[in-house]
Structure 1
Amino acid sequence: MKDMHLAELNVGRLLTATDDPRVKEFMDNLDRINGLGKRMPGFVWMMEGSGEPGTGNTEAAIGGDPQYVSNLTVWESVETLEKFVWGTIHKQFYEKREEWFEVLGAMHFVMWWVPRGHQPTLEEALARLEHMRTHGDSDYAFGWSHLKQAQMWQSHGCTQAKVA
Structure 2
Amino acid sequence: MKHLAEINIARLKHDSDDQRVAPFMNALDKINGIAERSDGFQWRYTDDSGNATDTLVMNDPRVIVNVSTWDRVENLETFVWGTIHRQFYQRRDEWFNMLDSMHFAMWWVDPGTTPSVEEAMDRLAHLDAHGNSDHAFGWSHLPQATRWRSAQCSTVAAE
Return the TM-score normalized by structure 1: 0.91
Q: Percent identity?
A: 49
Q: Deviations over 1:1-58 (max 9, x none)?
A: x1x1000000001011100011000011000000000000100000012145xxx211
Q: Which residue of the other structure, out of 119, 134, 143, is the alignment partner of 1:124?
A: 119
Residue matched to 2:44: 46
For structure 2, list consecutive stretches of 5 or more residues without a partner in the other structure. Answer: none
Residue matched to 2:32: 34
Say whether 1:110 aligns with 2:105: yes
For structure 1, list consecutive stretches of 5 or more residues without a partner in the other structure. Answer: none
CA 1:157 to 1:44, structure 2 compared with 1: closer, same or farther past 3 Å? farther
CA distance in 2, matches of 1:49, 1:157: 31
CA contact (8 A) 1:95 1:159 kept: no
CA distance in 2, matches of 1:49, 1:28: 17
Amino acid at match of 2:45: M
CA distance in 2, matches of 1:103, 1:64: 17
Residue matched to 2:10: 12
Offset at residue 106 of structure 1 (A): 1.3
Residue matched to 2:145: 150
SS at match of 1:105: coil
SS at match of 2:97: coil
Residue matched to 1:71: 66
SS at match of 1:24: helix
Amino acid at match of 1:116: P
Residue matched to 2:130: 135
